[in-house]
Structure 1
């Protein structure tokens, strides 16, 4: 990234400085492509996952959209703004897409089915290959938002069989401000941003070279292979709590839980004061603690859903971090018991 920031050239220019910038851009494209098992021309750089999702939902050559009820807001809102008919696919109480509902909804005009690879709140991994098999039988396209999954589980575009995929740099430990839309060879998705001919005329505008260089570098990192052991150790302390999606295949680093009677907002502040950053509901988009639409779609009561906390372990999380979290959690429980007894 530092090397990219020192470059003065525009990757679209033909002078020496521009050619150097272009070489770094294409090296980064190759890195992202290799990490996902695709060829470089299939990678369209964007400003992040939200832009890639918007481009797909609005530009796909289809007549209607079928999206799961637990999608990221950038998919749900883009679908609403697309001008196409939209139908929500329900999920089971475990947070897995209802394949029978998808089977019922597929017949009809050509559709785009958008189902995330792994949920950003619960970490539940979706049966995407089953989704693809059903969609292909009806001539439908499939898009997956793999932002949460990329770097935390094996993600191979070809093996999944999807037509379009969204990924983002910052979920890998790279910089914010860089993402990518991966498109099946031969699939034309209309541009969201019009102007110059960058990204093979699929996304106009001078590329954010420093962030894209960071994206390429971040693809070489992976979350620790033993992270699920730390996640399982963490979950042993939540006695009496509800762990959402616990019985299903999940990302190895994600725990979403709620303790009945404990406010998510108070927990967020209490953990923050102890140097622990956790999230709740749709805080990433609103800046406030709100009821999770994901947990609502899973059928959880509003009171429980609005108490949910999400803990995400990173590539540098250690057993000592888990011990610190445990100590803080036990202190919070002790204070709660003391207040109840007063």
Structure 2
């Protein structure tokens, strides 16, 4: 791999492209927003840094080449001439995924087979359905683009969260919802239905300046030309801070509190966070400056089990109004009716975000 600049695509959760663009600008990039992600031009160090540092991206794709292909024979010929050894290693198994859109080549399976054969016969690398290295072929308007998934397992898998609650908020989404609420690491954060602690732990990590990818490995470590020493220097250059205890979670479920505490410890933020077992009605304002209350309450995915939830939301709204003056409140929900049941003075809701088959939005208030 040389340091040539190429297009790098950061996959975003649909609906959260804008806060991811803000995060990327803060890290010094100038991204172009597209549906489902953002692009920059850069080199391999940008790929490494994006995987290590971005809290809102789902994965990082390196677009390493493209060529025109009007039919399968042409695809086969051009795939064989592609410089696979610049990016792939002979000893690492590869998987190929293909998508065809508005092109004369319309059979994705046949297209993927041509790329697999070229890699196997020209490079000599094995092809396997469960390989850790994924080559993505996209043929659109007869232009074949070759990308490498440089990430491996999705970036929400930070590598330091062993315990997960029943309906978990993904870390990538939690980080972007915090950003939409204006969180910059300096404010107090409280989640009164914390589950496995995602919002609280993400907030503490952001305040502490910890790299989200610090505890895991990435697919790019098995690509050709990977420089392990340079990668280690990049990881070592991230210097954490000690922001103090101002990240609080509570939940009525004792099991959730055990989970959250364990996750905070694994993430190395146990000194910055506090988790307590208490119901929303017993919620007390923490002894800290007014900040952000953020909650992902149950929203009853199926019609028919929403009745009790209206009462819960009304009670929650009353607690926030009476005990949290000066705090800003954010609720993630798929149901506008539940948000309104709180009686809180909502601003216009945020964009629709895809979350596990549901469409959710962030509702937030100004300081109460």
Provide TM-score, normalisation by structure 1: 0.28
Q: Using CA pairs below 8 Å that are at least 6 residues apart, which structure has the higher relative contact order?
A: 1
Which structure has the highest strand share of the two? Answer: 2
Q: Name which one, 1 or 2, has greater alpha-carbon Rg.
A: 2
